[in-house]
Chain A
């Protein structure tokens, strides 16, 4: 099951770099990079933190790939 996300789009909409977002939510840049590239699936806590950082719902940021 693939988890798509709009993290990169949201981050760029807010004018944030990966490092700036990482610092904002207290993770390393590699965490942001691996989530954006769908390599790493974040925990519920981290997904909630990311959604809160963009003032969005978790499902606005993360969606299951229905074609799978």
Chain B
């Protein structure tokens, strides 16, 4: 039987893979829905964004902790994980600022709707955070 450290390592790697998949889904979604202003289509996207943001918090670790009788959280939300989370938030923040500086002048030449700009910026923020976290998590075990 696997020890709790080994099980938490497996979980941690799975979470990193989920983050990469989520980043891909978000990227494909923003490209596929570009130029589409339908209010109805916004709701599933907002739900996807909301779930992604929740995944970037400590909530998944807390849920797994609760499901494993209060021991798993210690290993899934330890100091290194918390530092990786902060680094991923930082990456998302700076990528959003940089992207805003790049996108805003472009929209003066090629008009883009507010919804599209919001979609692009939120996607850049989340994809940067997700990929940073996934890379840090996967590299930490090497």
Contact check, A27 vs B83: say whether CB atoms are below 8 A apart.
Answer: no
Q: In the assembly, what is the distance between CA of A23 and CA of B80, in Å?
A: 15
Contact check, B83 vs A28: say whether CB atoms are below 8 A apart.
Answer: no
Q: Which residue of B lies closest to A23 (CB)?
A: B5
Contacts of A57 in B (CB 8 A): none
Contact check, A40 vs B74: say whether CB atoms are below 8 A apart.
Answer: no
Contacts of A23 in B (CB 8 A): 3-5
CB distance from A5 to the nearest CB of B (A): 15
Q: Does B12 contact A (CB under 8 A)?
A: yes
Contact check, B6 vs A30: say whether CB atoms are below 8 A apart.
Answer: no
- Secondary structure of the A contact surface, majority rule: helix
Contacts of B8 in A (CB 8 A): 28
Residues of B within 8 A of A (CB): 3-6, 8-9, 12, 74-76, 78-81, 83, 137, 140-142
Q: A19-B5, A34-B140, A43-B79 are in contact. List 19 more A-B contacts (CB 8 A).
A: A19-B3, A19-B6, A19-B9, A26-B78, A27-B74, A27-B75, A27-B80, A28-B81, A29-B5, A30-B9, A30-B12, A30-B80, A30-B140, A31-B80, A33-B140, A33-B142, A34-B80, A40-B80, A40-B83
The 8 closest A-B pairs by CB, nearest first: A30-B140, A31-B80, A27-B78, A19-B5, A23-B5, A28-B75, A22-B5, A26-B74
Residues of A within 8 A of B (CB): 19, 22-23, 26-31, 33-34, 39-40, 42-43, 46
